[in-house]
Amino acid sequence: MIVKSLLTEKNPFNSTAELREWIERRNKEVTVQVKQIPFAEMDKWYSKEDGSLHHESGRFFSIIGIDVQTDYGYINHWRQPIINQPEVGYLGILTKEIDGILYCLMQAKIEPGNVNCVQISPTLQATKSNYSRVHSGKSPNYLEYFVNAKSENIILDQLQSEQGARFLRKRNRNIIIKVDEDIEVLPDFKWMTLGQIKELMHYDNLVNMDTRTVLSGLKISDYVSPLDDLKNISEYGKGWLLSSTTNHAYINMREHLSWLTNLKSKYDLHVKTCPINEMPGWIKNDMEIVREDGKFFKIIGVNVTISNREVSNWCQPLVQPMQDGICAFIVKKIHGIYHFLVQAKLECGNFDVMELAPTVQCLTGNAEKAVIKPLFYDYVINAPKCQVLIDALQSEEGGRFYHEQNRNLLIEADDDFPLDVPDNYTWMTLNQMYDFLKFNNYLNIQARSIISALNYK
């Protein structure tokens, strides 16, 4: 039923065009006003003496300073602000089988930082503050289905990391459950097939990061049975399936694990908190925490007003990037099987030193200006159209990031692309990547975002 869901956009509830119209309409109906205000005017937020920003409840998230020391890369000691939210949130998709096809109950969710105000989101996005007993308000929609899910109804249940350069060791519980009973479809929710969600990922900033990370864990080949009608599958889809099931990898798992053990042992990462007021290269004024050279990102305080069916208004800090980024995987057929060129990347907020990242992951402006460009940057930027399998702008989480988007690229290497790659890179089949993905904190969120967009149709 998962495979059928993947290979069809036929949906008696909503066609793909209707879903696009729905999001467009919701975008028109909703007014989101995000006004930058001085930190001191953020209602319910305050600055501590060291410059860090906190919610008066002590919950949600805070903006703190960290001091980073590492022997990885060109810069070995720096300080920066980071989002601190030491709790595991739920990112949950509720699904139901209807006439042999799996449908996902997706939400049109408004977030203040979204490029499009409204994006397609999981059924449930809830922080521990939201769903734990400390919270006095109404519990999030559909939460009870996830909390009470029986083991046999859990399709996927993983702890996965967020952006390591922006979050301090943040993780979420990515979960997909299947319900048997009838479900009330609330106004902002609609049933979609996996094929429809994949199709919508072709458009810029329509499917949010939380949806993408949850779906990235679904290893499609696990659900293919000999009875499945695969006539709708594309040549590429067949390629992904083969790469997901093969045991004939160019480099075996023992070697990958040893490669990663070696890198994690080789590089040190020491992170400790430091005052925001004592970060060389950064200044905090009334309005923002920003670098003197204008690079990377800044922290702003905003007043958000969302006028929808009801009006809601609140204040919060947001992270605003100074430029867009790029996340690109290079894939290459080796002995007829697709292999992904994976990078082991150290980021300061990583839970476990290094995570597996796309071939290229960097900020566009920085890379263009850099004397030494990131490896493979020119290759992916200049790839001819026939080698470009995926190319879409995708947003980061709009609850924390203001208009942050990354160009997601999947590039098929040409025949002359070398198999020998630098130390921090390796070739993996999808089967191997899913093996890592099953366990916590191996594939980073940027890698997962691209994997989730692999199309089979």
Residues interacting with a copy of itself, by CB under 8 A?
A: 86-88, 90, 151, 154, 156-159, 173, 175, 253-255, 257-259, 261-262, 264-265, 268, 270, 351-352, 436, 438-442
Under 8 Å between Cβ of 96 and 84: no
Owner of token pair 């919060």: 316
CB of 314 to a copy of itself, least distance (A): 25
Closest residue by Cα to residue 153 from 176, 185, 121 = 176
CB of 34 to a copy of itself, least distance (A): 31
CB of 37 to a copy of itself, least distance (A): 31
What is the token pair recorded at 273? 């908190």
CB of 318 to a copy of itself, least distance (A): 25
Amino acid at 26: R
User: Which residues are registered as beta bridge partners of 352?
Assistant: none
Between 179 and 253, name the residue whose CB sits nearer to a copy of itself. 253
Between 352 and 391, name the residue whose CB sits nearer to a copy of itself. 352
CB of 128 to a copy of itself, least distance (A): 8
Between 28 and 77, name the residue whose CB sits nearer to a copy of itself. 77
Between 24 and 71, name the residue whose CB sits nearer to a copy of itself. 71
Q: Which residues contact 190 (CB under 8 A, 6 or more apart)?
A: 13, 14, 19, 22, 105, 106, 108
Under 8 Å between Cβ of 447 and 432: no
Q: Which residues contact 436 (CB under 8 A, 6 or more apart)?
A: 256, 356, 428, 442, 443
Between 209 and 263, name the residue whose CB sits nearer to a copy of itself. 263
Q: Which residues contact 144 (CB under 8 A, 6 or more apart)?
A: none
Under 8 Å between Cβ of 109 and 125: yes
What does the alpha-carbon distance between residue 106 and residue 101 come to, in Å, rounded to a whole number?
Answer: 15
Q: Which residues contact 294 (CB under 8 A, 6 or more apart)?
A: 322
CB of 189 to a copy of itself, least distance (A): 24
What does the alpha-carbon distance between residue 96 and residue 193 come to, in Å, rounded to a whole number?
Answer: 10
What is the token pair recorded at 64? 């703190």
CB of 219 to a copy of itself, least distance (A): 10
CB of 111 to a copy of itself, least distance (A): 22
Between 247 and 382, name the residue whose CB sits nearer to a copy of itself. 247
What does the alpha-carbon distance between residue 121 and residue 212 come to, in Å, rounded to a whole number?
Answer: 9
Amino acid at 93: I
CB of 439 to a copy of itself, least distance (A): 4
Between 48 and 438, name the residue whose CB sits nearer to a copy of itself. 438
Between 19 and 126, name the residue whose CB sits nearer to a copy of itself. 126
Extended strands (E) in 130-170: 154-161
CB of 149 to a copy of itself, least distance (A): 9
> CB burial class (10 A; 0-12, 13-18, 19+) of residue 211?
buried
Between 147 and 370, name the residue whose CB sits nearer to a copy of itself. 147
Under 8 Å between Cβ of 171 and 159: yes
Between 116 and 130, name the residue whose CB sits nearer to a copy of itself. 130
